[in-house]
Every structure is written in C-alpha cells, then in structure tokens.
C-alpha cells in the first residue's frame, strides 16, 4: 500500500538528476543530495517479508527488529565488514532513501552517484560497488575512499601540500590514511571496528556472566558506557538483559564501565598497532606535518569516551576528534562531488 501511495506522488513531483553522495557504511547509511543536504542518516538495515519479498521496514525501524523478528520477516544488513554482501537489498535501501525527499523526485538515472568504500578493498569488492551503481541505472558512478571523504568532512585541507592523517572507525572497518595534495599517500584498513567491538562485548558477557545478549543490546552498552580511560573517575554503569546460558531464563545484570573498558582495550590495541604501521610507512616530510597537525579521528568509534587519551598514550601524537564524527564522510562527499575526486581540482575554489 505504501508503495502505491509513493507511485502517485511520483507523478506530481518533477523529475531531476542530482549529485548524490552515499556513505554506505556497515552500520549506517548516509545519503547526501545536492541542494537538499543529508537526507538519510540511519542504520543500514532492511527488513523483507519472507514470502512476498516486499520491504516491511528500513533504517532504524528495521534495526529495532534485529534479534526480534519472527520467521515471516527477513532482516538483512546488506553490508558486511565494509563491503556489499547483498546487492539487491542494498539497492532497495538506497532507493527507499532517495524517495524520502518531498517536492522533488530524483531521477536516479540522470544523477551522478558517489559511493564511498573502505580504502583497502579488493578489486572484486570495488566492482560490486560499481555493479550497484549500474543496477540502480545510474550513468555516472564513481567510487572514493572513505578516508578521503572523511578527512574533507572533518575540515582538513587535504588539497594543500600539508599532510594530514585520519582514522575513520566505522561499523565494519577501520580506515587509516595519510593524505596530501588531494589524495591518499599511505593507507591501511582492517575490519576491527564497531561491529567487532559489539561482538567482543557479547562474548565477554557470555563467558563472564553466562548471559546471552543480542547485537542491539551490545551496541547500546558500548554507546552508553564504552570507555577507554585509564582512570575512570565516576564510573558509569548500565544494565544488560538477555538469556541465561545455563538456566535458559531471561536475566538482567549490571555492568560497570571498567569491565567494558577492559573488553575494548584489546581491539583498540590492534587499531593503535595499525596507526603505527601507517606512520612507519609515511614519508618523513609528511611525518613532520603530522606531528604538527595531529591525527584526526572520525566515524562512530570516535565517540567512545577517552579514545584520544588512549591513542595519545600509546603513540604520543596529538589526537583530535572530528567535529561531527558520524557525518564526516558524507559531508566530504559534498565536496568530492564537485571535483569528481580529481586531486587537481580543489573543490573549494
């Protein structure tokens, strides 16, 4: 029914091609449309009906269903570890996002589409992004690395010869890049990111407290009391409820900040090792820029309390958290759409 209403609207709206930037993250999908701003900022989750294959819900509505659906509903996260795992579902998700704008109807076939991907994906994975663009019927698709977009979105001037460094901790992948003169000089990417932290929290609760919890609860715990501070001043705590492994009965327990801190320290150790690896491969002239400018952190992971302190202690540089860590990448697409990702053209001019 919802679809038929949309169809009616379609005829009333005028159809235009637009510049569209999409940050297709494992955790969240953000869509920027030229002249409209960021139109979608929601979890990249979509729910289908098993039998009819019709879309029941998408975004946060679908995310709320995670771990709660019955056999009639199929809940899909179309991206896994930073790359597309279900291309049909991804396509649906983007289409739904684009239909959200009132007044105008975006003719996606006439639009220019910019998709952001992790910096170290294989050619096959890259091709799948291209294939997605083609499936949507877009004539012009181009793919840019998330670090690049993230750095621009964090307000770094990557088009000057002054080197900058960004750590983007997203849902599915953590990307680290050194940028100068409009492109990436050194980059590194791995799949230790938001979802991985959630899994670690789930594992911890299962083994330490004998409690099985869902992904959503794990994520909530991370967001509420996730911390990396060495000395926690006034410890926060939260509750976690799930199923007892032994008795099989529902159970609710209290978890403290320091527990979660100990869980998170390990994956962040490997992120700091990765930062070191990138720094080791950085040409000395850029190293000297980085020591002056510091390193910026964006992505959802940047919101974990004390992350800058933690990394500063391990590595010794200055770490800054980008102003809008969650929308940095999509903000960056705004500018990249103007110069089409060419490092020659400074989009701000």
x-or-dash string of contact with another protein, 226-265, rule CB under 8 A: ----------------------------------------
For helices 146-153 and 328-339, give the axis angle rounded to 10 degrees. 100
Q: How far is the CB of 185 from another protein (least distance, A)?
A: 4
Which position among 22, 218, 286, 297 is part of the footprint of another protein (CB under 8 A)? 286
Q: Which of 236, 314 has the CB closer to another protein?
A: 314
16 counts as binding another protein under rule CB under 8 A = no
Which tokens in the block code for residue 34?
């030229």
Among 232, 276, 303, 321, binds another protein (CB under 8 A): 276
Binding-site sequence positions: 26-28, 171-173, 219-222, 300-303
| C-alpha span between 342 and 113 (Å, rounded) | 15
Q: Does 345 bind another protein (CB under 8 A)?
A: no
Is the alpha carbon torsion for 146, 119, 168, 203 positive or negative?
Answer: positive
Site for another protein in 161-190 (CB under 8 A): 161, 163, 179-181, 183-185
Whole-number minimum distance, CB 317 to another protein, in Å? 7
Q: Measured from the CB atom, is 7 or 344 closer to another protein?
A: 344
H/E segment holding residue 45: none
Cα torsion 26, 107, 125, 188: sign: negative
Is 87 exposed, middle or buried, given 0-12, 13-18 or 19+ CB atoms closer than 10 A?
middle
Q: How far is the CB of 35 from another protein (least distance, A)?
A: 30
Closest CA to 23 of 176, 179, 144, 175: 144
Distance of closest approach, residue 286 Cβ to another protein, in angstroms: 5
**Coil vs helix vs strand at 100:** coil
Considering beta carbons, is residue 228 or 317 the nearer one to another protein?
317
CA atoms within 13 A on the CB side of 125: 15
Work out the end-to-end distance of the chain between its first and last CA atoms, rounded to an integer number of angstroms.
47
Asked if 199 is part of the footprint of another protein (rule: CB under 8 A), the reply reads no
Count of residues that bind another protein according to CB under 8 A: 29
Q: Does 285 bind another protein (CB under 8 A)?
A: yes
Part in contact with another protein (CB under 8 A); list of ranges 4-12, 120-128, 208-216, 274-282? 274-282
> Least distance (Å) from another protein to the CB of residue 291?
4
User: In this complex, which beta carbon is closest to another protein, that of residue 238 or of residue 287?
Assistant: 287
Going by C-alpha positions, the residue among 60, 29, 34, 31 that lies closest to residue 47 is: 60
Interface map 315-344 toward another protein (x if CB under 8 A): xxx-------------------------xx
Stretch that binds another protein, among 24-32, 78-86, 127-135, 284-292 (CB under 8 A): 284-292
Which residues sit opposite 23 in a β-bridge? 30, 116
Q: Could you tell me which residues are annotated as the binding site for ATP? A: 26-28, 171-173, 219-222, 300-303
Indicate the length of the chain as a whole number. 349
Q: Does 289 bind another protein (CB under 8 A)?
A: yes
**Cβ pair 62, 43 in contact under 8 A:** yes
CA distance 190 to 263: 19
CB of 313 vs another protein, minimal distance in Å:
13
Q: Which residues contact 2 (CB under 8 A, 6 or more apart)?
A: none
Least separation, in Å, of the C-beta of 162 and another protein? 8
> Burial, 287: exposed, middle or buried (Cβ in 10 Å; 0-12, 13-18, 19+)?
middle
Question: Minimum distance between the CB of residue 19 and another protein, rounded to whole angstroms?
Answer: 23
| The two structure tokens encoding residue 22 | 């999409």
Pairing of strands 237-244, 250-256: antiparallel
Place of tokens 């330490």: 208
- C-beta closer to another protein: residue 145 or 327: 145
Residues near another protein, by CB under 8 A: 161, 163, 179-181, 183-185, 276-277, 279-292, 315-317, 343-344
């Amino acid at each position: 029914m919802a679809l038929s209403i949309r169809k009616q609207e379609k005829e009333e709206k005028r159809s235009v091609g637009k510049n569209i930037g999409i940050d297709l993250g494992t955790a969240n999908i953000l869509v920027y449309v030229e002249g409209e701003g960021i139109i979608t900022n929601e979890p990249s989750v979509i729910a289908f009906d098993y039998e009819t294959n019709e879309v029941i819900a998408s975004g946060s509505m679908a995310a709320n269903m995670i771990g709660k659906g019955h056999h009639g509903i199929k809940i899909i996260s179309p991206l896994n570890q930073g790359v597309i795992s279900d291309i049909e579902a991804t396509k649906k998700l983007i289409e739904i996002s684009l239909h959200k704008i009132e007044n105008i109807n975006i003719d996606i076939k006439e639009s220019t589409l910019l998709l952001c991907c992790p910096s170290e994906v294989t050619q096959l994975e890259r091709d799948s992004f291209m294939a997605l663009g083609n499936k949507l019927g877009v004539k012009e698709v181009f793919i840019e690395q998330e670090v690049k977009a993230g750095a621009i979105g964090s307000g770094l001037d990557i088009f000057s010869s002054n080197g900058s460094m960004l750590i983007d901790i997203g849902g599915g992948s953590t990307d680290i890049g050194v940028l100068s003169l409009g492109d990436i000089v050194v980059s590194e990417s791995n799949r230790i990111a938001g979802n991985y932290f959630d899994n670690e929290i789930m594992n911890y609760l299962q083994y330490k407290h004998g409690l099985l919890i869902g992904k959503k609860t794990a994520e909530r715990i991370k967001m509420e009391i996730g911390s990396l501070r060495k000395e926690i001043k006034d410890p926060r705590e939260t509750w976690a409820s799930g199923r007892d492994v032994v008795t099989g009965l529902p159970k609710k327990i209290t978890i403290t900040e320091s527990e979660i801190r100990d869980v998170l320290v390990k994956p962040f150790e490997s992120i700091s090792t990765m930062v070191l690896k990138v720094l080791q491969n950085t040409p000395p002239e850029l190293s000297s820029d980085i020591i002056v400018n510091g390193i910026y952190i964006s992505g959802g992971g940047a919101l974990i309390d004390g992350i800058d302190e933690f990394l500063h202690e391990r590595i010794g540089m200055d770490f800054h958290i980008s102003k809008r860590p969650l929308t940095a990448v999509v903000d960056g697409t705004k500018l990249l759409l103007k110069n089409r990702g060419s490092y020659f053209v400074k989009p701000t001019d």
